[in-house]
Structure 1
Amino acid sequence: MSSSYLIALGSNRRHRVFGRPREVVRAAMEELAALGTVTGRSSVFSTDPIGPAQRRFANAALVIESEYDPLALLAGLKHIEREFGRRTGRRWGDRVLDLDIVLWSGGKFASHTLTIPHDEFRLRDFVLRPAKMIAPNWRDPVTGLTIRQLSARA
């Protein structure tokens, strides 16, 4: 049985092959098709860094239909991050690629490695703005608000 997932993408470091962060995000969107069928892609936005990150980010969102359960999809996302050169490091630091599961059609999910919905997505314009382009009516299973409503509050 297939599920829908809303994935947030971000980059603020150059990649030796793909180039600038904007191109890294676009290349990652193509790579995500290996995990299912991409049914929606936002534009790529330039956003200010948060935390200790120093460089501006390129951010986007996509919707993917996948046969993978949440933990298997997370493993696939982490594999793609590593393929793009992502290394573990400090939280909110500069990174070549960051892929997060924000929402899924199954509602809430929690394990020791993954929480859906993503804990802080409701406060992050860099997630809500691209998500609103492709999934404005998806509802947060915690608040019951749509992405459009959450975006208006952010």
Structure 2
Amino acid sequence: MTVRSYLALGSNLGDRADNLRQAVQKLNERKGIRVVRISSVYETDPVGYVEQDAFLNMAIAVETDLSPEKLLEEALAVEQELGRVRTVRWGPRTIDIDVLLYGGQAVRQEHLVIPHPEMADRAFVLIPLRDVWEGGPLPVFGRTVDDLLRLLPQDDKGVRKWGTIDWAIAYGHSGS
């Protein structure tokens, strides 16, 4: 059975835009994952550990026949391939990939919680998600992305549109 899932991607080390492009491409190349929509790219100030460079963030919608656990496993494998090293919580990273939503399911496991437990509090997740979400209330939350954004403090949004990633480049096509 194929399920629509939503992932958030972020990068603040090296060539941030290329890290995002490579992550989208690598995810799309994985068996059981097909990227169907990609958001614009947004630049955001760091959250938590703030002594680091700004992030580029985006969201993607994927069709997958993988379980939530396998989808997370594939996302973590892509992070590792792109040089992700986990040292400081919320610290600098070449790439970060989070599973935000998996169909309408709620998942609570030791290493996987869906919907992502902090997504409703983070404009840098919600704004790109709004680009790829197909409208209506989010599963489990029962509120739209815009409803959740309105609940955030205005001065904490700090999300600036940066640009887009060309589909052809992200998917490794030459454009023909």
Normalising by structure 1, we get a TM-score of 0.91
The one-letter code matched in structure 2 to 1:38 is V
Question: Which residue is equivalent to 1:43?
Answer: 40
Q: How many positions carry a matched residue from both structures?
A: 149
Question: Which residue is equivalent to 1:8?
Answer: 8
The one-letter code matched in structure 2 to 1:40 is R
Match runs of 1:72-83 below 5 Å: 72-83=70-81
Question: Which residue is equivalent to 1:31?
Answer: 26
Helix, strand or coil: the match of 1:91?
A: coil
Q: How far apart in 2 are the matches of 1:118 and 1:43?
A: 20
- Unpaired segments ≥5 residues, structure 1: 15-19
The one-letter code matched in structure 2 to 1:49 is P
Q: How far apart in 2 are the matches of 1:149 and 1:39?
A: 24
Measure how far apart 1:142 and its partner are. Answer: 3.1
Q: Is the 8 A contact 2:99 2:116 kept in 1?
A: yes
Poorly superposed stretches of 4+, deviation over 2 Å: 138-143, 151-154
Q: Is the 8 A contact 1:136 1:148 kept in 2?
A: no
Question: Which residue is equivalent to 1:105?
Answer: 103
Q: How large is the RMSD of aligned CA atoms in angstroms?
A: 1.4
* Structure (1 or 2) with the larger CA radius of gyration: 2
Q: How far apart in 2 are the matches of 1:133 and 1:106?
A: 18
- Unpaired segments ≥5 residues, structure 2: 153-176
Q: How far apart in 1 are the matches of 2:146 and 2:29?
A: 29
The alpha-carbon distance between structure 1 residues 8 and 138, as it changes in their structure 2 partners (threshold 3 A), is: farther
Helix, strand or coil: the match of 2:110?
A: coil
Q: Is the 8 A contact 2:9 2:98 kept in 1?
A: yes
Report Cα offsets for 1:118-146 as digits up to 9, x if no partner.
00100101000111011052533333002
Q: Is the 8 A contact 2:4 2:62 kept in 1?
A: yes
The one-letter code matched in structure 2 to 1:2 is T
Q: How far apart in 2 are the matches of 1:143 and 1:60?
A: 21
The alpha-carbon distance between structure 1 residues 28 and 124, as it changes in their structure 2 partners (threshold 3 A), is: same
Q: How far apart in 1 are the matches of 2:25 and 2:150?
A: 29
